[in-house]
Amino acid sequence: MRAGARRGIWACALALGFAGGCRDDIERRVAAFADEACACRDVQCAEAVQQRLMDLLRDAAEPPDDAKRRIVAALTKMGECINRLEGDVASPAP
């Protein structure tokens, strides 16, 4: 995974502790962003989804601890998908 994408995902995770907004649906929305990023067919698409997620988290309230674990799991999933896409870019097609 490129350093920028990796930093962005962990910045999202850290932002969970420092933002203010509605708690109710943040977990669901983060999971939806992860699914959307994983459905992308190229890195640019996934990074655009990641940026929208970062924008959301900037305005999100700190979730309860149990939700944080699930949110971090969704962010990890997103990172793995971006990493897979970056690997596809790095290795030329046969």
Q: Domain locations in the chain?
A: 3-87
Tell the residue number behind the tokens 């979730």, with chain if given. Answer: 63
- Average pLDDT, integer, range 43-60: 90
- Average pLDDT, integer, range 30-50: 94
Evaluate if residue 4 carries a pLDDT over 60.
Answer: no
Note whether 80 and 36 are within 8 A (CB): no
Evaluate if residue 93 carries a pLDDT over 80.
Answer: no
Label residue 92 left, alpha or beta by phi (over 0 means left) and psi (-120 to 50 means alpha): beta
Note whether 63 and 20 are within 8 A (CB): no
- Average pLDDT, integer, range 70-74: 90
pLDDT at 66: 81
Q: Which percentage of the chain shows pLDDT scores above 90? A: 38
